[in-house]
Amino acid sequence: MTTPHEPEGSRRHIITPRSVRAANHEEGLLFPLSSEETRQLVRTALEEDGAFQDVTTIATVRSDRRTHATLVAREKGVICGAPLAIEAFHQLDESITVRVDAEDGARVGEATPVFFLTGKARAILSAERVALNFMQRLSGIASLTRMYVDAVAGTRAKILDTRKTTPGWRRLEKYAVRAGGGRNHRMNLSSSVLIKDNHLAAVDGDVQLAITRARELAPPGAKVEVECDRIEQVERAVAAGADIVLLDNMSLDELRACVKLVARRATIEASGGVTRDRVRAIAETGVDWISVGALTHSAPALDLGLDFEGT
């Protein structure tokens, strides 16, 4: 039997002090930071917030006071960032016990408990804002991604992110996209080839030359992608051996024409002007990928809160 707040098939488990660094994840969803990277990132955030010298909490709460608290989703969405939040609480009190009800990647409804905390009241109070900051940001990305993924359900299109990420947070934000059911585009400039309009301008528009030079330098097996903003560019890119063509800011009619022209000779990515209202129509043109910069640069924070026992 599940509780009214517990999704069918969910698994509750306890994260005991320091014994487990992160919640179990669904297959294929692996937290991107090592234990040491997680520790350092969270430590920096706690120090930035003055959590180890929380004068208000030290002045008002006795050091031996223990409490129970529940981290709650106040709106529906997708959870992400639990390992960072748990690390924040543990750095303030290694004895805090956490029971996880909603792991990263889990969908939650309004007023759904995410996890339960038991430990020193001072530590939970002082770590609260840092824990919520991590989780609200990453859960917001995961939740927005899930909205886009749901919008194209039943089509062949996959939702991808971009490199429009917060400096220093790329691995975390791309992880949040995966938690929401999306896929990652290239991680950085060194991971794959994407020849854009300015690259082509530097070789006088010679697509064949750009692709040849890219293949000479790129790692074996690396895909070569070419950005196109006109239909005639698409034919030249495919004829030159591009693995992927990026259709930039094209109309729906242009997208359909390009899908017909390419005829599965290359993967087709649509980008630019992608909104939640328009993404379904873009998917129905037959493209393979739809990249959405808004997933990481414009996702609103998911409303999460920490409720203390007796408050």
pLDDT tens for the chain, 311 residues: list them. 333 333 444 455 565 544 444 444 444 688 999 999 999 999 999 999 999 999 999 999 999 999 999 999 999 999 999 999 999 999 999 999 999 999 999 999 999 999 999 999 999 999 999 999 999 999 999 999 999 999 999 999 999 999 999 999 999 999 999 999 999 999 999 888 999 988 988 888 888 899 989 988 888 888 999 999 999 999 999 999 999 999 999 999 999 999 999 999 999 999 999 999 999 999 999 999 999 999 999 999 999 999 998 64
Q: Among 66, 107, 196, 215, which one carries the catalytic annotation?
A: 196
DSSP for 43-84 reads HHHHHHTTGGG-HHHHHHS-TT-EEEEEEEESS-EE---HHH
161, 225, 227, 288: the catalytic one is 227
129 catalytic per annotation: yes
Q: What Å distances lie between residue 42 and 83, 88, 228, 254, CA to CA?
A: 10, 6, 42, 47
Catalytic residue among 12, 129, 223, 256: 129
Of 39, 66, 107, 164, which residue is the catalytic one? 164
Q: Active site includes 227?
A: yes
Q: What is the pLDDT of residue 29?
A: 81
Task: Say which of 75, 235, 248, 254 is annotated catalytic.
Answer: 248
| 3-state SS class at 178 | helix
Give the pLDDT of residue 287. Answer: 98
Verify whether residue 164 is a known catalytic residue: yes
CA quadruple 49, 55, 58, 61: dihedral, nearest 10: -90
Give catalytic status of residue 75 as yes or no.
no
Domains and CATH numbers, the chain: 13-142+299-308 (3.90.1170.20), 151-297 (3.20.20.70)
Question: Residue 14's Cα: distance from chain center in Å?
Answer: 25
The 8-class DSSP code of residue 183 comes to B
pLDDT at 269: 98
